[in-house]
A and B are shown apart, each in its own frame.
Chain A
């Protein structure tokens, strides 16, 4: 790993800093190219027939009327797929998922049949002509009843399966934690639900599959955050040779973790293209997206926190019941069934911590890891930041003061947490102080006091989080056996322009700009002269894609490393050009010159031309100016942040208004501060949405109650305040440019701040906890002494 020539304490932006984005021009003109914009000659349109039942046996399936529709070209059923051994597909969690149901349906909205027609309207028409007879079965809706001895077994397709338990997983030191709790002055417990929500990217999932019957090559344009992994999985699942599969991820209208996995619709589109010999487009509508693609969260958590009576936090103990839906499709590294929930010890120096997670099947859509969760860190941070506030409530201490007293200190880094995670760097007290100052915390508390005396409800919520992003070291992190390293290739053309090829896949995070900036920083080539190519598996090196805020930690590192390789090649070429020893050359951005003689030098563009010319090159230098690398990160990066949220609650209507939100983030070196701030703004809106509005609820029959934007509420301009951001810069010591990931930080850190603020506002009512989403009805109920969301799971 080339990390030694890094100015390790660099704290300024990289390349051209807050430069405008290179990708904007096409989006501003309506010239972005998203999956549904792709049109191919002879292209057909697919539509999915979905189950109206949560749990039912399929008695019969009659497609004859649909097949007779004049515009229908094919109707694919589970039986069709069975003939191809594709009725089921493997998931990222070593389970299987039905592509099209053959035996029974296991959640409402599950895929039952796939119609292929000449246009998208006809395909929908034909769905109505399919006749399915169902025999309804009792559904499992409440995760807390999934393990009851009389609970229906959802996965009777799995040999020997007699219950709905998916896994039991634990981390930390149970005995040590029990010991800490036994000796503590104060032990406080709190149950809480992180409700099922959905990432709901503006663009839904879709694909255009084109199997060329002559060449045998499959090209699939698809909404994927991980095109290379998809290619390999299609090869493994469909038995197609991998060099005959080309996955193209064009412009993606937001991903947020929704577009990591492979959905049945993609497989159906591929099969339909094989069956019809034509390209087949499948684009789901919003209801399908919400009901059947990857949900997020759905953790039922029982938290315990132990402390001394003067407020030293000693330990945290957690039990989690994880609702994974009908198929375990959770996307995370193979060895981490609960993702990185293990970082639930948070930003505090605990003596011991322990948690147990039990995953269960229910009659709901699969998913779990999505929506900027960094593999369950949303849940971990929410748990610990709620527990710290609950402890502050019990001790009668100010929650900011309690945090300040317990935060890890800068000199403790690298810090090995009590659950075994090695935090790379941090200066937590400085970040918290910055946030409190920016929010005028002390004055807010005074104002709150005055308002309370007038009967007004104002709340101040603090959260402090440590993220863990950049998965990850190949030794223990893989997706389906694929190590989480990422490649990069950099080629400088003879005229000094460059092309950088990446394995990660932007969905709006600005990679085309920021990765060019990294090369610009390393080689002195202007960003506009560097084309960033990604999202096409025929054109880019292998890698695991973009999610878990891993692009900057892994591919960003790869980019810096590959640029430095090119620079070292350039040094050798320059030494031949200038007829000096390579060691006698000094680098200034964009140019090598002879030590002690700055006038004798040559630019990177001149070197590029010379590298392609008849210049006699030193022994072992092949010519041309390019390099490739694979970056296997030595550790994750651990960005952190301190958030303060201020809310007003209407005592008559229980309506919550977020008045102010201060976010201080530290993601190490900021490549492009403008883009970092945009990432944070978006994540803060997620926090408002989750805390106050979003939930996918189910009734006792398993009917999905959040299946459209009429019910699944997303924040608009009116719910979001004008965000106020601050920053500190604590570089990652192991990263080549000191940069940490940041994309998910705000989504991870902000919900707890909002909830803590609302609970703080309700203090006069003696409320200690309220479950999300804190709609007026929920807050009102809390004010009447009923704070828990029992309606989320029928008891």
Chain B
């Protein structure tokens, strides 16, 4: 059946089988291979993308369910102005090694900071608890998210203080109401 999915701001219309998983739609149909596939039981979270601003495991969503919805993937994190603060945080705090879980981790982190700009360590850990990482032992991922939170807070403080200059504001986010 024909679906139109908006991915990173761009609409894509494709004819797909109803059984096609969103993760395979993104990877195989659109060539957006940053989203990964790490398990077959919806545990690992390597496939997490934002659907209407909310993290979903794209291996557990059919592509047809994303019809007329907004998807944001890791390829849509950076803007023309540069990397997202979450991406910068993961690099600064060495929050990635093999890089396979990283896209999913960063998407959930982005969602977390959008709804809670000053998360505690416990809140960060809980937000990421649906996602597995085999390399980092999580420590530096937690630090990465905290780094991003602190730098976004500092950046928004600057832009609040000097509104006429605009300041390096993060890309506009979907802030839909979320149940976890």
Contact = CB atoms under 8 A, between A and B. Distances in A.
B38 A202 contact: yes
A37 B33 contact: yes
B98 A674 contact: no
B74 interface: yes
7 contacts: A26-B99, A30-B75, A121-B20, A202-B100, A202-B135, A682-B97, A717-B125
By secondary structure, the A interface counts as: loop
Interface in A484-539: 507-510
A29 B78 contact: yes
A255 B44 CA distance: 16
B24 A29 contact: no
Contact of B99 (A27, A677, A716): A27
A708 B41 contact: yes
Interface stretch (A17-25, A428-436, A734-742, A773-781): A17-25
Contact of B129 (A204, A674, A717): A717
Contact of A675 (B38, B94, B137): B94
Contacts of B91: 20-21, 24-25, 28
B34 interface: yes
Contacts of B94: 20-21, 674-675, 677-678
Interface string B118-151: 0001001110111111111111111000000000
A18 to B, nearest CB: 8
A32 B32 CA distance: 11
A27 B39 contact: no
Contacts of A39: 31
Contacts of A682: 97, 134-137
Nearest to A722: B139
Contact of B96 (A28, A677, A710): A28
Given A29-B75, A33-B33, 6 more contacts: A120-B24, A286-B40, A508-B96, A674-B94, A685-B138, A714-B134
A203 B96 contact: no
Nearest to A255: B98
A402 interface: no
B124 to A, nearest CB: 8
Contact of A201 (B32, B41, B98, B136): B98
A29 B74 contact: yes
Interface in B74-106: 74-75, 77-78, 83, 87, 90-92, 94, 96-103, 106
A32 B126 CA distance: 27
Interface string A665-678: 00000000011011
Contact of B44 (A287, A709, A723): A709
B22 interface: no
A755 interface: no
A718 interface: yes
Given A34-B100, A253-B99, A29 B129 contact: no
Nearest to B91: A24
Interface string A626-656: 0000000000000000000000000000000
A709 B87 contact: no
Interface string A269-310: 000000000000000011100000000000000000000000
B35 interface: yes
B104 to A, nearest CB: 10
A31 interface: yes
A251 B34 CA distance: 12
A592 interface: no
A507 B34 contact: no
Contacts of B24: 120
A120 B103 CA distance: 23
Nearest to A287: B40
B39 A286 contact: yes
B17 interface: yes
Given A202-B101, A674-B94, A678-B140, A121 B41 contact: no
A629 B140 CA distance: 36
A681 to B, nearest CB: 3
A723 B136 CA distance: 11
B7 to A, nearest CB: 12
A287 B27 CA distance: 21
A251 B99 CA distance: 9
Interface residues of A, number: 59
A254 interface: yes
A32 B75 CA distance: 11
B51 interface: no
Closest 4 CB pairs of A and B: A30-B34, A508-B98, A27-B99, A253-B100
A252 interface: yes
B39 A720 contact: no
Contacts of A681: 136-140
Contact of B132 (A37, A202, A710): A202
B98 A253 contact: yes
A723 B143 CA distance: 12
A768 B101 CA distance: 39
A120 B46 CA distance: 19
B43 interface: yes
Interface string A743-762: 00000000000000000000
A208 to B, nearest CB: 13
A508 B106 CA distance: 17
A690 interface: no
A36 interface: yes
Contacts of B96: 24, 27-28, 508
Contacts of B34: 29-32
A30 B142 CA distance: 20
Contacts of B58: none
A28 B27 CA distance: 17
Interface in A225-245: none
A690 B128 CA distance: 21
